[in-house]
Amino acid sequence: MAHSLKFEKESVQTSERVKCVDLHSSKPWVLAAVYSGNICIWNYHSQKIEKSFKVTESPVRSAKFIERENWIVVGADDGLLRVYNCDTMEMIKEIEAHTDYIRCLAIHPTLPYVLSASDDKLIKLWDWEKGWICSRVFEGHGHYVMQAAFDPKALNTFASASLDGTIKIWNMDSGSLDFTLDAHSKGINCIEYFMAGDKPFLISGSDDFTAKVWDYEAKSCVQELEGHTHNVTAIGVHPELPIIMTCSEDGTVRVWDKTSYRLENTLEYGLERVWTVAYVKDSSKVVLGCDKGTVVVNISGSHGSDAAADV
């Protein structure tokens, strides 16, 4: 059970405000996108910065590894999408993607696709095998689109979350909207798919200080996670460990049991607001990005058949 897990702060890299983190699945690397316009790769084994450079004078709000191509893709407030070689940090592509801030990038698990979500209220689908063409534009949100997430079960479907308070489910093939959930009383900052047993769920985090779990097939809210005292900024549902992590501007990360939704732990590392969380399959590490830096947390203990190997 989740309550037997231990959360041990392993290392901290202090920096300016970190808006996005990503964890490499085979190298001891954390990719961090910083509000100052920099990105850096931090080696959590050696505790050293491996690579760091200025992308733009604007804040960088999203940066992701595309491991199968050995790339990093970056989205910034200048509306540009940039692609870099992971080893040389040479820029491979620069695209005028949006007319406003890029809030989020999502990498498709199997297909050569990236989704970008923006304050221009649009979500765009990019196909890197076709020279990074924009193959679809998804329009329908009434406010900034804060996050998009691919459905891991239905690979032609994704969800988006917006400050308009709705979750929208889209068909990637047709470009059409499947349905809308009027999800929160205030803006939604984050969304994620997860499996509990054989059943798929969505979880959303909002400026109403709550996270909500959705049976999206039934279009119903099955649980509300309450207790944060400020906006919920990011959500992580670990692929092996039986936990949900909700991050907030209140400076805490709350850890919930994935099945019972019971609060199991509250983590606080003194790095002020928590903006982002990352994890990978087959690893017991979780990375958090905050106002004052990045922290790597190692999760250990007994968790039954959901045991995760360390990287």
pLDDT attached to residue 75: 98
In one-letter notation, the amino acid at residue 213 is: V
pLDDT attached to residue 213: 97
Give the three-class secondary structure for 14.
strand
Residue 227: other Cβ atoms inside 10 A: 15
Task: Say which residues have a Cβ less than 8 Å from residue 30's Cβ, sequence separation at least 6.
Answer: 13, 21, 22, 23, 24, 41, 42, 44, 278, 287, 294, 296
- pLDDT one-digit tens code per residue, 2-48: 457 899 999 999 999 999 999 999 999 999 999 999 999 999 999 99
Q: Average pLDDT of 165-177?
A: 95
- pLDDT one-digit tens code per residue, 112-134: 999 999 999 999 999 999 999 99
pLDDT attached to residue 302: 59
* Distance, CA of 272 to chain centre: 19
pLDDT attached to residue 105: 98
**CA dist., res. 42 & res. 49, Å (int):** 4
Residue 305 pLDDT greater than 60, yes or no: no
- pLDDT-derived band at 198, boundaries 50, 70, 90: confident
The encoded tokens of residue 82 equal 């940039």
252 touches 291 (CB < 8 A): no
- pLDDT-derived band at 197, boundaries 50, 70, 90: confident
Task: For the full predicted model, state whether its pTM sits above 0.85.
Answer: yes
- pLDDT-derived band at 1, boundaries 50, 70, 90: very low
More confident of the two residues 280 and 306: 280
More confident of the two residues 91 and 301: 91
Q: What is the mean pLDDT of the chain?
A: 93
Q: Average pLDDT of 93-103?
A: 98
258 touches 5 (CB < 8 A): no
Give residue for tokens 């095998």.
129
pLDDT attached to residue 64: 98
- pLDDT one-digit tens code per residue, 240-298: 899 999 999 999 999 999 999 999 999 999 999 999 999 988 888 999 999 999 999 99
Q: Which strands form 232-237's sheet, in the order they lie side by side?
A: 232-237, 243-248, 253-257, 263-267
Report the percentage of the chain scoring pLDDT > 70. 96
- pLDDT one-digit tens code per residue, 52-92: 999 999 999 999 999 999 999 999 999 999 999 999 999 99
Residue 163: other Cβ atoms inside 10 A: 21
pLDDT attached to residue 300: 87
**CA dist., res. 223 & res. 260, Å (int):** 10
Residue 307 pLDDT greater than 70, yes or no: no
Q: Average pLDDT of 178-183?
A: 94
Q: Average pLDDT of 171-188?
A: 94
pLDDT attached to residue 240: 85
pLDDT attached to residue 3: 56
pLDDT attached to residue 281: 87
